[in-house]
Structure 1
Amino acid sequence: MSEDIFLIGYLFLSLVIILTLAMKFKFNVAVTLVIASLFMGIASGLGLVETLTSISEGFGGLMTALGIPIGLGVILGKLISDSGGAYSIATAVLNRTSEKWALYALGAASFILAIPVFFDVAFIILVPLAIQLGKQANKPLPYSVGAIIIGAAVAHTLVPPTPNPLAAASILDFDLGIMILIGTLVGFVATMVTIKLYFIILDKGFWNKEQDEDESLDNTFGRIDVPSNPPSALLALIPIILPSIMIILGSVGSVFYDENPAVIAFFSHRIIALLIGTLAAYFIAAKSLSKEERDNSSSEAMQATGIVLLITGAGGAFGKIIENTGIDQAIVNIFVSDAQSTISIILVAFFMGVMFRTITGSGTVAGITTMTIMAGVATGVDIHPVWVAMASLSGGLMLGHVNDSGFWISTKIAGLTVKGGLKTYTTSEAIAGFVVLFITIIGAHIF
């Protein structure tokens, strides 16, 4: 037990190193993860060479599984956004909804858009629509802004091909098709429930227009340039739906075959599925973008991918160090006395994710780091790893605040004060995190 306590102590010091370097000295998070990995390996007795080997193996292993898919996913989303396809999807969802359900439809549109694109892109696309919709429904600003924050945050956190849920299947070693199915189903239900709960809070007088809205901002609600002839919503959905169908077919095939035939295994692989989705996005974007514009859009997407890949790989390095030191078993020994306690595992993963997100401000760091720590823990418990992923990610969804770039994007573009940002971005994501946790606990005892 004393050795377990020392390992937990070294992990705690590693986290202090990450947080101190990232917050006080403003180091890049990927750099802090590598430094923390070095400390953790050496302090735990792995030795100098073994520590470096583990870091290299962890980084390379995760990049082997995720490097190309993440890059393709970002390009896919960028092409959908720049071509105006994302705008078409949003308007189509809203135009097919009655006024009573319009704000819920707005949340659904935000959820759909944030599957292929990052949170900030989905938010920027939808803010102009949200403001107009709020005025038509005679609802204060936080109703419409909260709906798009909730939908975008939940989808970005739970549904591949965004980095965290895409990494979950590799880190915790389960079928990606299951992550797509569970992430989509749980995420959509959680989005609708969270919107309802958040609206109930707003109805109780939670919002104060004078204190929570910043009237001094000139460009209060943001703008978006949409091409004059964007692809239809149906066309724009093809690159989003097609890869998911291909990956899920592989999961379905495994039910009927001991080993999927080569053709199914090939076309259901995440690289091929996302490659075909990206090619579909490239050709569909031709309706509104020239070849040069599409090439530029792809290049810009790849530039944005670099930091995501670096953080993801560094998280893999940290995870490999944790695996080789045996700290996963130490966590079981200390925090989970009953090795069959599903609820204990879920709660440990959840609160660890909350801690990382609250302190670092990064949902990506919170999710990937928590899942790597919990990867070994989950193998000793009768629980499907998808629920460990969901618990980790729901914790990483919680309590984004002033050290989170998404907080400032949503606050400033929507024209809110800091207090208003806390009442929209932070509060709505906190509710969403608890809702996903509640569904996860139920799901883990059923499936």
Structure 2
Amino acid sequence: MSDLSLIFVAMAGIFLLLFLVIRTKLHAFVALLLVSLIVGIAAGMPLSGVIESMEDGMGGTLGFVAIVVGLGAMFGKLLEVSGGAERLAQTLIAKFGEDKAQWALGITGFLVAIPVFFDVGFIILVPIVYGLAKKAGKSVLYYGIPLLAGLAVTHSFIPPTPGPIAVADLVGADLGWVILFGAIAGLPAMILAGPIFGRYIASKIDVGVPDYMESDDDEPKKGYDKELPGFGLITSLILVPLVLILVNTLSDLLLEEGNTFRSIATFLGHPFVALTIATLLTFTFLGTKRGYTRQDVQDIATKALEPAGIIILVTGAGGVFKQVLIDSGVGDVLGNIMIQSALPPVLLAFVISTAVRLAQGSATVAMVTAAGLISPLIDTLGLDGPMLGLMVISIASGATVFSHVNDSGFWLVNRYFGLDVKDTLKSWTVMETIIGFVGFGVAFIISLFIA
């Protein structure tokens, strides 16, 4: 089949994927599998070869992603149930003072979203936003936007959250580089999109706590089963896997192969081992040592895998799509065209991810689709090491910008803050776009020095 025909097949496949997800509301997992089948057959692959590619793509992806996302979900669920997120917020607000509560909420969101899913972290912490807004007589956005910015930055940029985990696996990036560049790009993004933009937009949109969120104020609020855990314990548990993974990456960079410390760091810093250690520590110090039975801990961990399962399957289907593109020869043709586009790889990754994000709304689907499309370019150019980490941040940045009415996060914020669509666009959408462009800008600047 000619290169032109393969390009037509690839473009038709992408449009079909968007149509199935947007118009027919077909679940992204099924849509990705169906499009992979059609692209493989249309590209002239043997029928048995299509099936083999699908098996290889699913197995190769889930071998890494399922373990990391599953462990991260259990880790985060126990943090949620124990009141760890609440403790972080309370302590940081007390340390910063209520006059600087914006910064405290931004940092809280940044830390909480490392192990806890974005929407869960927001729902847990939004009552604190309501309380501060009522006490200070300020717009809910004054405190809400910084919290959302912190949550959104980490959700997009820093493993073990599912998005960057999925992209890192699909493009072959080392998680240490992703964590390092995610923090470097994420902190300025959180500051600009959070406290700074939050102060500005709160002066333009004065909105109080929605009436329907205050209806049960006279009823006693449900507390946590146990006393809240300590701040030091929570931050230590969150940092354990990040530090182990970073030490692994740095030891590979600084020490010679065969060095004993490097061998130990490589083992302990592998995401499987690092997250297993962190999860076991969480089970112990937030679970059994705080009065939960082993059965309680098991039930909490099992419950955590329900939302994780959906993310794992969608990511696996993204791996299938990537593998079919590569095995059919479409990937090589796409990679050559991308090289000839004269756009730097980091910019190209951002543009592709942004286009998919705008069209269908889901950040996770945008990340997975963009990573599948960009992976042939990575193989062709021979990109490795820190450049792959920057590619992950660039893809994640593109999947963050321009959140609008086709994104579930848009409606979550719309409801909890009692905004109309216009004001949600002015606040949430602009905040997400600031995060995406700042993250991409930092990644692009760094890429100029290490390319």
- TM-score, structure 1 as length reference: 0.91
Residues 117 and 217 (structure 1), Cα distance of their counterparts in 2 relative to 1, 3 Å cut: closer
Unmatched tracts of structure 2, length 5 or more: none
When structure 1 is superposed on structure 2, of 16-25 and 87-96 the one drifting more is 16-25
CA distance in 1, matches of 2:3, 2:341: 16
Question: How far did 1:260 drift?
Answer: 6.1
- CA-to-aligned-CA distance 1:21-52 (integer Å, 9 cap, x gap): 22322221100000010111111122211111
- Of 130-139 and 385-394, deviating more is 130-139
Cα offsets for 1:387-407 (capped at 9, x unmatched): 211111100112222222222
The Cα of 1:416 is off from its aligned counterpart by 2.5
Q: Give the distance between the partners of 2:212 and 2:271, measured in 1 at CA.
A: 47
Q: Deviations over 1:168-192 (max 9, x none)?
A: 3322223211111111222122111
Give the match for residue 276 of structure 1. 277
Contact 2:66 2:312 in 1 (8 A): yes
CA distance in 1, matches of 2:230, 2:278: 16
The answer for the alignment partner of 1:378 in structure 2 is 378
Among 292, 314, 318, the residue aligned to 1:315: 318
Cα offsets for 1:138-197 (capped at 9, x unmatched): 431222221122111110111000112123332222321111111122212211122255
Question: What is the CA-CA distance between 1:373 and the residue it aligns to?
Answer: 1.4
Give the corresponding residue for 1:192.
Answer: 191
List 4+ stretches of structure 1 deviating above 6 A: none
| SS across alignment from 1:96 | helix
Alpha-carbon RMSD: 2.5
Q: Given the superposition, is the C-alpha separation of residues 278 and 219 from structure 1 closer, same or farther in structure 2, using an over 3 Å criterion?
A: farther
The residue matched to 1:410 in structure 2 has which SS?
A: helix
Residue identity matched to 2:401 = M
SS at match of 1:397: coil
Give the corresponding residue for 2:105: 106
The SS at the match of 1:401 is: coil
* Aligned partner letter, 1:226: Y
Alignment partner of 2:340: what SS?
coil
Cα–Cα, structure 1 residues 216 and 65, in superposed 2: closer, same or farther, change >3 Å? closer
Give the Cα separation in 1 of the matches to 2:23 and 2:434: 29
- 1:176 aligned partner: 175
Find out whether 1:82 has 2:81 as its counterpart: yes
Q: Is the 8 A contact 2:176 2:248 kept in 1?
A: yes
Letter in 1 for 2:364: T
Query: Partner residue of 2:362?
Result: 362
How far apart in 2 are the matches of 1:388 and 1:220? 46
Name the CA distance, whole Å, in 2 between partners of 1:55 and 1:370.
Answer: 18
Q: 1:97 to 1:197 in 2, by over 3 A?
A: closer
Residues 359-410 of structure 1, C-alpha deviations (whole Å, 9 max, x = no match): 2221111112211211221344486111211111100112222222222222
Deviates more, 1:287-296 or 1:48-57: 287-296
Match of 1:404 in 2: 407
Q: Which residue of 1 aligns with 2:61?
A: 62
- 2:382 & 2:98 partners in 1: Cα distance? 46
Identity within the alignment, % = 31
SS state at 2:38 partner: helix
How far, CA to CA, are the matches of 1:177 and 1:78 in structure 2?
23
Q: Kindly report which structure 2 residues correspond to 1:198-217, keeping only aligned pairs within 5 A, or say none.
A: 198-199=197-198, 201-202=200-201, 205=204, 207=205, 209=207, 215=211
Higher alpha-carbon deviation: 18-27 or 85-94: 18-27
Q: Does 1:422 align with 2:395?
A: no
Output aligned runs, 1:234-383, within 5 Å: 234-254=232-252, 255-258=254-257, 261=260, 262-286=263-287, 287=290, 289-337=292-340, 341-342=343-344, 345-381=345-381
Instruction: Indicate if the aligned counterparts of 1:159 and 1:184 stay in contact, CA closer than 8 A.
Output: yes
Distance 2:435 2:216 in 1: 26
Task: Check 1:297–1:376 CA distance in 2 against 1; reply closer, same or farther (3 A cut).
Answer: same
Q: Distance in 1 between matches of 2:292 and 2:144?
A: 29
In structure 2, C-alpha distance between the alignment counterparts of 1:242 and 1:161, rounded to whole Å = 12
| Aligned equivalents of 1:236, 1:350: Cα separation in 2 | 34
- The answer to which of 321-330 and 390-399 deviates more is 321-330
Map of 2:30 onto structure 1: 31
CA distance in 2 between counterparts of 1:283 and 1:408 reads: 37
In structure 1, what residue type is equivalent to 2:375? A
**Does the 8 A contact of 2:189 with 2:438 survive in 1?**
yes
Residue pair 2:397, 2:440 contacting (<8 A) in 1 also: yes
- CA deviations on 1:293-348 (whole Å, 9 max, x unpaired) are 32221111012221111101001101111222333443344344266x52xx2222
C-alpha spacing 1:96/1:332, structure 2 compared with 1 (3 Å): same
The verdict on how the C-alpha distance between 1:220 and 1:47 changes in structure 2, with shifts beyond 3 A counting, is: farther
- Output the amino acid matched with 2:157: L
Preserved CA contact (<8 Å) 1:238 1:280: no
Note the C-alpha offset of 1:5.
3.8
Distance 1:59 1:434 in 2: 32
Q: Distance in 1 between matches of 2:375 and 2:361?
A: 22
Relative to the length of structure 2, the TM-score reads: 0.90
- Note the 1:111-126 alignment, pairs <5 A: 111-126=110-125
Out of 241-250 and 194-203, give the one that drifted further. 194-203
Match of 2:443 among 437, 440, 443: 440
CA contact (8 A) 2:73 2:304 kept: yes
Question: Aligned equivalents of 1:224 and 1:154: distance in 2?
Answer: 29
Instruction: Report the Cα offset of residue 62 of structure 1.
Output: 0.6
Q: Which runs of 5+ in 1 are unaligned?
A: none
Deviations 1:257-292 (A, max 9, x none): 225654333212111110111111111223264433
Whole-Å Cα distance in 2 between the matches of residues 27 and 173 of structure 1? 29
* Residues 219/119 of structure 1: CA separation in 2 closer, same or farther (3 Å cut): farther
How far 1:215 moved relative to its partner? 4.6
Cα distance in 1, alignment partners of residues 370 and 174 from structure 2:
19
Moved more, 348-357 or 271-280: 348-357
The 1:252–1:271 alpha-carbon spacing in structure 2 relative to 1, beyond 3 Å, is same
